[in-house]
Amino acid sequence: MPERTLAVLTLDGVRVMVPAGTTVLAALQNAGLSPLRRSLSGEARGALCGMGSCYECRAVVDGQTVRTCLTPVQDGQNVRRLMEVNREV
Amino acid sequence: MKAIVIGGGLVGAACADALARQGMRVTVLEPGPVGGGATAAGMGHLVVMDDSPAQLALTARSLELWEALAPALPRQADYHGCGTLWVASDEEELAAVEPKRRAYLAAGREATLLDAAELARAEPNLRPGLAGALRVPGDSVVYAPVVAQFLLERAGATVQREAVAELIDGGVRLESGEMLRADVVVVANGIGAVSLLPDLPLRQRKGHLLITERGPVHIHHQLVELGYLKSAHGNDEDSVAFNVQPRPTGQLLIGSSRQFEQPDREIDWPLLRRMLRRAAEFLPALENISALRIWTGQRCASPDHLPLVGPHPHLDGVFLATGHEGLGITTALGTAELLAAQLFGTPSELLKHDFTPARFERMPEPAHA
């Protein structure tokens, strides 16, 4: 059995430990961080396609806005949902 | 009286609306979604431009028609009177602003000169050291696909989701083989006109656009560098120019690029990098914003940068409304007014200028089916 490595990330300020090889989207969803975004009129938004086409799962990873469904987790990542970032702006 | 309009973009929709108001029954043929071609790809900047007297007349009249239409538009059309700032990088460009201002005033459009300090106050995110700007407060922006749908509904036009295979005497033959008859056929499908009329003097001119995330950088006007005109009218080489629009959502729409004979939809990354670098030279804060989407579109350019509006020189009952290059959204309404004037004798000041396809002498007869 290969050893399962773990990555430690920060999701909206909370440290979580997730299996390496998963996506940031999976980490967010498993941590119960939903919705991922809010539309301009305040409606809840979250991942729709899970394959990089819909752009609905965007979040800020280490300062860059990315599609979380296409972003593998890496040890030490700092992930923030857009509404958390925009609240500061 | 029956009319067929080929093309369900904004130009086709505006023409359909104008013909319906003259009592014609209008069928619009559009194989794709309404407003899904150049209409959706463009910025939707309603802008007065003065490269030629005819272009100034057409854009200025069109802005008047937009102002008249605006109260009727659905909210989703995002009609927004933000005005344009033509930004001068240096004294040489600023010197060219005064004749431009006078031309705009003569065409009945408000235009004011901003010096360097006034420009910095109007748009604090622009880099320091710019020479000034021409402010054209009557320019606007609009989300054109919604307007196309609105005009088609207002016209009561029948929209058939079909492609036209060829023009025939007194009508068209569809890809399905069906023949449709009409008293008037209006070819208003942008660069698609070339597949029906191969001899038209039209070329594709590809452009890139990028839309950002909602973000911290706010601008108040559509910002265009005066150098844009060099880009729009320069030679055949790829060119970029600073042209950024504030969206009502707090996003920015960033252009612009021009490339001849690039019929694909692919992103040209080196050119995009040039375009964004140019934009960031004027708006340094762009470096801190994320892009959301990037897309391309095809303008339909004529040799003299004016559209082809009017009767086909050799085909009875066939009228053209194409070749608007980057001004099709602005000039769709003026185009429709002009077409109605040509067909029905309704008044239009635009008849003073020659927009007819016949101005390009070399248009051999296409083979009849």
DSSP A40-75: TTS-EE--SSSSSSS-TTEEEETTEEEEGGG-B--T
Residues A60 and A79: beta-carbon distance below 8 Å: yes
Contacts with B214 from chain A: Cβ below 8 Å: 40, 86
Interface test with B, best of A40, A55, A67 (most B CBs within 10 A): A40
Q: Of A80, A82, A78, A68, which Cα lies nearest the Cα of A23?
A: A68
Q: What is the pLDDT of residue A58?
A: 94
- A 10 A CB-CB count for B44 gives 25
Please determine, for residue B363, whether its predicted confidence score (pLDDT) is greater than 60: no
Cβ pair A65:B290 closer than 8 A: yes
Q: Chain A to chain B, count of Cβ pairs less than 8 Å apart? A: 15
Give the sheet arrangement for strand B171-174, strand by strand: B164-168, B171-174, B179-181
CA distance B175 to B194: 16
In degrees and rounded to multiples of 5, residue A85 shows phi and psi of -65, -45
Q: Which residue of A has its CA nearest to B250?
A: A40
On the 0-12 / 13-18 / 19+ scale of CB atoms within 10 A, B352 is: exposed
Q: What is the pLDDT of residue B202?
A: 96
Q: What is the pLDDT of residue B232?
A: 65
Q: What is the pLDDT of residue B233?
A: 66
Please determine, for residue B190, whether its predicted confidence score (pLDDT) is greater than 50: yes
CA distance B189 to A74: 49
Structure tokens at B318: 């066939």
| Integer CA distances (angstroms), B355 to B61, B109, B361, B366, in order | 14, 22, 13, 21
What element of type H or E holds B165?
strand B164-168
A40, A55, A82 ranked by CB distance to B249: nearest: A40
Find residue B205's DSSP bridge partners.
B260, B299
Give the tens place of pLDDT for each residue, B210-238: 999 888 899 999 999 998 766 666 678 89
3-state secondary structure of B232: helix
CA distance B244 to B217: 12
Positions of chain A with pLDDT lower than 70, given as ranges: 1-4, 87-89
Q: In which band, very low, low, confident or very high, does the pLDDT at B369 lie, cut at 50, 70 and 90? A: very low
Give CA B7 to chain center in angstroms: 15
CA distance B276 to B77: 27
What's the whole-number mean pLDDT along residues B97-123? 97
pTM of the model: 0.91
